[in-house]
Amino acid sequence: MTSVVEKNAWADATAFESSIYSNGWTAAGDGSIEVFAPATGELLGRVGAASPEDVRRAAADAAAAQVMWGNAPYAVRAAVLNRAAELLLEHEQDFAYWLRREGGATELRAQSEVRGSTGELREAAATISREPAEFYPSLKPGEESYGRRVPRGVIGVISPWNAPLLLAIRSVAPALALGNAVVLKPDPHTPISGGILVAQLFEDAGLPSGLLHVLPGGVEAGKELVADPNIATISFTGSTEVGRMVGAAAGGALKPVNLELGGNNAFIVLADADVEAAAAAGAWSSYFGSGQGCICAGRHLVAADVYDQYVELVTKFAQGVRAGNTADEGIKLGPIINQRQLDRVHRIVNESVDAGAVLKVGGKPDGLVYPATVLADVKPGMAVFEEETFGPVIAVTKFETDADAIALANQSEYGLTGAVHSRSRGRALGIADRLRTGMVHINDVTVKDGPTVPFGGMGASGNGGRFGGDRNWDEFTEWRWFTVNDLALPREL
């Protein structure tokens, strides 16, 4: 097949071989990380692996640099964010190259991620012109009493591999815009698109030195980032398993922590839905990004009256999805990120089939490529119903009543997002109001995001709508109370 992915010198990762970004490009303390293309196993480059000492040094330097930045006029900070957005669009193809080669993203996903990241940068720049303030009554004549938001200091950002650019920028941009410094640890699977290029982007946008440190690294670097006393807040996006550990460690250090974790999202199709439209939306929700997204649909809950039709439609959809190396033309389903994750997806499918689920299509991996898969007759208790698959698998479960659908949807420790399809707006909203999720979409896909919305989940999916628009004031700043008197008055004990 013909490759449709190109790069230019701006996105040449060999320029940063064995480097981290901390007050400029510097040698890493823990050697290097090799970056491979999941579709082919090709070695794409090497980046520096940060040591715990690198993290400590970066955190201290960031804390020193933040004081000046936190007091800079908002227009100065906004100019850097807006310039970064301009550069990101200017180099859209370079970022897309790495998202496709390093992470296995399709052309559509790479484009969506770059443009979504641009939106995050622009919204962050706009947010700082809307600083909240509160005035309070005072018992003293002539005294002013008010509260305003101030930066927290240094934000530690730990970002994942499945949307490496967007899920880094989503925290880095508002944190910087609101006057903080940032230490970013991108996932070692995608340290270029999720880290190295982010550093280059902000450097070229004119961000002063010391305010952004990009430290690819492993578990020890992550632990040090959470523990370091110069890090005021942790923003973590990743698996629920690791999120529990990050939350526990941050809590022990009395640090605020923003957790956006996994999901096993319910896609509900009522008997009065437009079944063809619902099936297309459901398949898209499960297969976008090879299903490797916390907001992808996991469990398809379908009314008995339209169950057979729905299964037939999503099976036909799956049969038409071309899977393979996303560097090749026409590929719509890319590789799973690594062998361990592919083995996990395959285990969940096989265990579910052994338990009575019916494999309609797919289920046979080719290297790291897992084909679009449909499982019918899925029941609670089966692995594919209970676990977050994080792969391109549709699991279809039949229900009889609306109450059954609600009970099945809520039968999960996760609570990130969901969708309800019905021709009755009121009926769909009535069900949506009873779902224990942070987000829900009527007659649409589950894979929805935006820079202005409160993005986040409940339960094992995280600690609420932590990202987006004015919610970022809550996450990356804190209230400070001021009182102002013209003169100090004498006091007596």
Sign, Cα dihedral of 426, 427, 428, 429: positive
3-state helix, strand, coil in the chain (%, to 5): 40, 20, 35
pLDDT tens for the chain, residues 1 to 493: 333 344 454 556 555 677 899 999 999 999 999 999 998 999 998 999 999 999 999 999 999 999 999 999 999 999 999 999 999 999 999 999 999 999 999 999 999 999 999 999 999 999 998 889 999 999 888 999 999 999 999 999 999 999 999 999 999 999 999 999 999 999 999 999 999 999 999 999 999 999 999 999 999 999 999 999 999 999 999 999 999 999 999 999 999 999 999 999 999 999 999 999 999 999 999 999 999 999 999 999 999 999 999 999 999 999 999 999 998 888 999 999 999 999 999 999 999 999 999 999 999 999 999 999 999 999 999 999 999 999 999 999 999 999 999 999 999 999 999 999 999 999 999 999 999 999 999 999 999 999 999 999 999 999 876 788 889 999 999 999 999 999 888 888 8
Residues 6+ apart with CB under 8 A from 99: 105, 109, 110, 113, 114, 164, 165, 193
> How many Å apart are CA 373 and CA 359, to the nearest integer?
8
Q: Where are the alpha helices (DSSP H) in 205-239?
A: 219-227
The rounded distance, in Å, linking the Cα atoms of 37 and 349 is: 25
Which residues are part of the catalytic machinery?
260, 294
Q: Which of 286, 347, 350 is nearest to 313 (CA)?
A: 286
Structural domains of the chain, with CATH = 9-261+462-480 (3.40.605.10), 265-442 (3.40.309.10)
Single-letter residue type at 118: T
- C-alpha–C-alpha distance, residues 402 and 123, integer Å: 38
Determine how many CB atoms are found less than 10 A away from the CB of residue 391.
25
pTM of the model: 0.94
Task: Tell me the pairing of strands 25-27 and 477-484.
Answer: unpaired
Strand intervals (E) in 172-220 = 181-185, 212-214
Whole-angstrom distance, CA of residue 80 vs CA of residue 78: 5
Strand arrangement of the beta sheet that strand 414-415 belongs to: 414-415, 455-459, 464-467
